[in-house]
Structure 1
Amino acid sequence: MIDLHLHLDGSIDPEDMPRLAELSGAALPSTRQEELRSLLSVEPDCRNLGEYLEKFQLPLRVLQTGESLEYAVYRLLERLSGQGLCHGEIRFAPQLHLEKGMSQEQAVSAAAAGLLRGIRDFGLSAGLILCCMRGEGNRAENMETVAVAERFLGRGVCALDLAGNEAAYPTYRFADVFRRAGERGIPVVIHAGEAAGAESVRTALELGAVRIGHGIHAASDAELMEILRDRGIFLELCYSSNLQTRAVGLPEEYPLERFLDRGVRATVNTDNVTVSGTSLKREYLLLQERFGLSGEALKGLAINAAEAAFVTEGQRAALKERIDREFPLWLSSGEPKGK
Structure 2
Amino acid sequence: MERTDRIFPDKYIDLHLHLDGAVTSDIAKRLADMQGIALPADGEALEKLLSVGDDCKDLNEFLDCFELPLKLLQTTEALNECAYLVAEKMREQGVIYAEIRFAPQLHCEKGLTQRNAVDAVIRGLSRSTIKTGLILCCMRGEGIEEKNLETAELAEEYLGKGVNALDLAGAEGLFPTENFAELFAKIRKSGVPFTIHAGEADGAESVRKALEFGASRIGHGVRIKEDPELVSLIAKRGIPLEMCPNSNRLTRAVEDMKDYPFMDYLACGIKVTINTDDPAIESTDIAEEFRYMESRFGLTAEQQRQVLLNSADAAFADDDVKKWLKEQIAPGVNEK
Please, what TM-score do these two structures have when normalized by structure 1?
Answer: 0.93
Note the aligned Cα RMSD (angstroms): 1.2
**Which residue of the partner structure matches residue 216 of structure 1?**
222
1:75 aligns with 2:85: yes
Once the two structures are superposed, the pairs formed by residues 254-293 of structure 1 within 5 Å of their partners are: 254-293=260-299
Q: 1:196 to 1:15 in 2, by over 3 A?
A: same
1:5 aligns with 2:11: no
1:51 aligns with 2:89: no
Once the two structures are superposed, the pairs formed by residues 259-338 of structure 1 within 5 Å of their partners are: 259-325=265-331
**Which residue of the partner structure matches residue 70 of structure 2?**
60
**Which residue of the partner structure matches residue 103 of structure 1?**
113
Q: Secondary structure at the match of 1:293?
A: coil
Measure the CA separation in 1 of the matches of 2:44 and 2:119: 33
Which consecutive residues of structure 1, in runs of 5 or more, have no partner in the other structure? 327-339
**Which residue of the partner structure matches residue 93 of structure 1?**
103
Q: Secondary structure at the match of 2:141?
A: coil
Give the C-alpha shift of residue 202 in structure 1: 0.2
- Whose RCO is larger (CA < 8 A, sep 6+)? 2
Q: Secondary structure at the match of 2:280?
A: coil
Give the C-alpha shift of residue 262 in structure 1: 1.6
Give the C-alpha shift of residue 19 in structure 1: 2.5
Output one character per residue of 1:275-321: Cα deviation in whole Å (capped at 9) or x when no partner.
Answer: 01111001111111111121001110011000000111011011001
Q: Note if contact 1:218-1:224 (Cα within 8 Å) is conserved in structure 2.
A: yes
Deviates more, 1:158-167 or 1:16-25: 16-25
The residue type equivalent to 1:147 in the other structure is: E
Output one character per residue of 1:205-251: Cα deviation in whole Å (capped at 9) or x when no partner.
Answer: 01110000000000121100111011110000000010101010112
Q: Note if contact 1:15-1:33 (Cα within 8 Å) is conserved in structure 2.
A: no
Once the two structures are superposed, the pairs formed by residues 20-31 of structure 1 within 5 Å of their partners are: 20-24=31-35, 26-30=37-41
**Which residue of the partner structure matches residue 190 of structure 1?**
196
The residue type equivalent to 2:26 in the other structure is: E
Q: Secondary structure at the match of 1:35?
A: helix
Please, what TM-score do these two structures have when normalized by structure 2?
Answer: 0.93
**Which residue of the partner structure matches residue 33 of structure 1?**
43
Q: Secondary structure at the match of 2:209?
A: helix
Output one character per residue of 1:62-100: Cα deviation in whole Å (capped at 9) or x when no partner.
Answer: 000000000000001100110111000001000000001
Measure the CA separation in 1 of the matches of 2:77 and 2:183: 29
Which consecutive residues of structure 2, in runs of 5 or more, have no partner in the other structure? 1-11
Measure the CA separation in 2 of the matches of 1:23 and 1:178: 38
Give the C-alpha shift of residue 28 in structure 1: 1.4
Output one character per residue of 1:164-193: Cα deviation in whole Å (capped at 9) or x when no partner.
Answer: 000110001111111111111101100000
Q: 1:25 to 1:153 in 2, by over 3 A?
A: farther
Measure the CA separation in 2 of the matches of 1:66 and 1:104: 11
Q: Secondary structure at the match of 2:127?
A: helix
Measure the CA separation in 2 of the matches of 1:97 and 1:111: 11
The residue type equivalent to 1:4 in the other structure is: L
Give the C-alpha shift of residue 35 in structure 1: 2.2
For this pair of structures, how many residues does the alignment match?
Answer: 321
1:139 aligns with 2:145: yes
The residue type equivalent to 1:290 in the other structure is: R
Measure the CA separation in 1 of the matches of 2:309 and 2:225: 22
Q: Note if contact 1:14-1:40 (Cα within 8 Å) is conserved in structure 2.
A: yes
Q: Note if contact 1:88-1:125 (Cα within 8 Å) is conserved in structure 2.
A: yes
Give the C-alpha shift of residue 23 in structure 1: 4.1
Q: Secondary structure at the match of 2:61?
A: helix
Give the C-alpha shift of residue 257 in structure 1: 1.7
The residue type equivalent to 2:158 in the other structure is: F
Pick aligned residue for 2:256 from 239, 250, 262: 250
The residue type equivalent to 2:116 in the other structure is: Q
Q: Note if contact 1:4-1:89 (Cα within 8 Å) is conserved in structure 2.
A: yes
Measure the CA separation in 1 of the matches of 2:156 and 2:309: 28
